[in-house]
Amino acid sequence: MSSEGSPVGRRVVLGMVGLGALGVATGAWVQRGVNRALGPVGSGISGIVPAAGGFRFYTVTGPVKRIAPADYHLRVRGLVERPRSYSFADLQHALPQTRMTDTFHCVTGWNVPNVAWEGVALPDLLDAVGVRPGARGVRFTSFDGTYTESLTMEQARRRDVIVATGMLGGPVSHDHGGPVRMYVAPMYGYKSTKWLSGIEVVGDVRPGYWEERGYDVDAWVGRSNGYTS
Ligand SMILES: Nc1nc2c(c(=O)[nH]1)N[C@H]1C(S)=C(S)[C@@H](COP(=O)(O)O)O[C@H]1N2
Ligand SMILES: [Mo]
């Protein structure tokens, strides 16, 4: 487990771009070793999807409790017509399913190409509960008890923002934030809340965990946090 590190401001992020190559190469190599060591024999997740080896597992807390899919619930509340709690089965069967594959970008410089995701597009979930007038943002909470994130309503309505029940061709592993995590494709990884426990529709966007520590609230890949390419 590694944390994202100390609070990172614009200048620090810029400096890290230069240092990135060595860090990313080392991290990927170490992570591949970890995947080989921990992967169930024959599951071959890292073999089927070699790119998975490029991930680093992040948590800003200590060990996070494990929740089995059968015990999982996602609370959707706030400025909605029909607040409700979705079981894992509800997320897989009661709502339209979306799949996509894209590169995963952490703001600290590592990327993982061709990561496959599946789950419920956030706009489909928002339509199911009915967004009330005055809603301007969506807030995400984690059952790690600490991490939070937010999107504007416009961002939350994108079809490449997914409540993910699957990743890399299988379930979302515990270390990747399973059984359910967010995946916000067009933005840096910190927008993608792991161990998702709640989605709250709110009147105003509140900065998330890393944003209170210096990251940009609008985290577009390539044009935020000091990146301009
Ligand atoms: N709950 C929680 N979600 C989180 C984080 C975290 O520390 N805790 N880190 C974020 C960051 S900075 C990144 S890059 C991705 C990393 O996802 P991974 O751990 O599956 O590689 O998760 C994001 N979501
Ligand atoms: Mo990140």
Tens digit of each residue's pLDDT (9 = 90 or more) over 94-108: 999 999 999 999 999
Residue 5 has what pLDDT? 57
> Which residue's alpha carbon is nearest to atom 7 within ligand 1?
59
pLDDT tens-digit series, residues 172-202: 999 999 999 999 999 999 999 999 999 999 9
Ligand 1 site: residues with CB under 6 angstroms? 4, 55-60, 106, 142, 144, 147, 176-177, 189-190, 192-195
For the full predicted model, state whether its pTM sits above 0.85. Answer: no
- Residues 7-11, mean pLDDT to the nearest whole number: 46
d(CA 21, CA 122): 34
pLDDT for 29 equals 35
Residue 33 CB neighbour total at 10 angstroms: 12
- Per-residue tokens: 154: 């416009």
The angle subtended at Cα 113 by Cα 110 and Cα 119, nearest 5°, is 110
Q: Which of 107, 106, 141, 135 is nearest to 123 (CA)?
A: 135
Nearest ligand for residue 147 CA: 1
pLDDT at 217 over 60: yes
- Check residue 165 and give its pLDDT: 98
Choose which residue among 64, 190, 215 to substitute to test ligand 1 binding: the one with the highest number of ligand atoms within 8 A of its C-beta.
190
pLDDT at 89: 98
From 141, 192, 199, 216, the mutation candidate for ligand 1 (largest count of ligand atoms within 8 A of CB) is: 192
User: What is the 133 CA–ligand 1 centroid distance (Å)?
Assistant: 31
229: confidence class by pLDDT, cuts 50, 70, 90: confident
**Phi, psi (5° rounding) for residue 152?**
-70, 160
Which is higher by pLDDT, 27 or 117? 117
Q: What pLDDT, on the 0 to 100 scale, is given for residue 3?
A: 57
Peptide bond into 179 cis (omega under 30): yes
Q: Which atom of ligand 1 is nearest to the CA of 188?
A: 14
How many Å is the Cα radius of gyration of the chain?
17
Q: Which CATH architecture has domain 69-213?
A: Alpha-Beta Complex (3.90)
- Per-domain residue ranges of the chain: 10-59, 69-213
Question: What is the pLDDT averaged over residues 60-70?
Answer: 97
